[in-house]
Amino acid sequence: MPETRAVPRTKLRPKTERPKLHKVILVNDDFTPRDFVVTVLKGEFHMSEDQAYRVMITAHQRGVCVVAVFTRDVAETKATRATEAGKAKGYPLQFTTEPEE
Ligand code: TYC
C-alpha cells in the first residue's frame, strides 16, 4: 500500500501585516514663495527641481498635493521638519499626513 503523507509539505505561513502607508500632503497658502516651497521639497523629500516644481504648482492650483507615501513615523517626521523649515522663515507653509485607504 502506498505510504500516505499526513503532514503538509508546505509550511503554513501566517499572513504578515504590511504597515499602513501614510501620505505627506503639501497645503497651499497665499504667502510662502514658490521658490521656497520647491527648495523645501528638494531638501526634505529628495526631489529633482522638476518634480518639486510640479508638486508645488499642483498644490498652488488645486489647494493640496500628495508629496509621497511613507510609514507613519517617517511621514510624520518629514511633514514636521518641512513645516518647521517654513516656520523658521516666518512662512505659514503646511505639510500634513493622512493614512492611505
Ligand atoms: N501660493 C504660493 C504663492 O503664490 C506658493 C505656494 C505653493 C505656497 C504651494 C504653498 O503649498 C504651497 N506664492
The domains located in the chain, with CATH, are: 21-99 (3.30.1390.10)
Cell numbers placing 78: 518629514
Q: What ipTM describes this predicted complex?
A: 0.99
Return the residue whose CA atom lies nearest to atom 5 of ligand 1: 34
42-87 per-position pLDDT tens digit: 999 999 999 999 999 999 999 999 999 999 999 999 999 999 999 9
Report CA(27)–ligand 1 centroid distance (Å).
Answer: 8
Which atom in ligand 1 lies closest to the alpha carbon of residue 93? 10
Partner residues linked to 97 by β-bridges = 24
Return the residue whose CA atom lies nearest to atom 13 of ligand 1: 33
Rounded Cα distance, 42 and 49, in Å:
7
pLDDT band at 6 (very low <50, low <70, confident <90, very high): low
Taking residue 89's Cβ as centre, other Cβ atoms within 10 Å add up to 11
Which atom in ligand 1 lies closest to the alpha carbon of residue 33? 13
Nearest Cα to Cα of residue 83 among 35, 30, 25: 25
Is 20 strand, coil or helix? coil
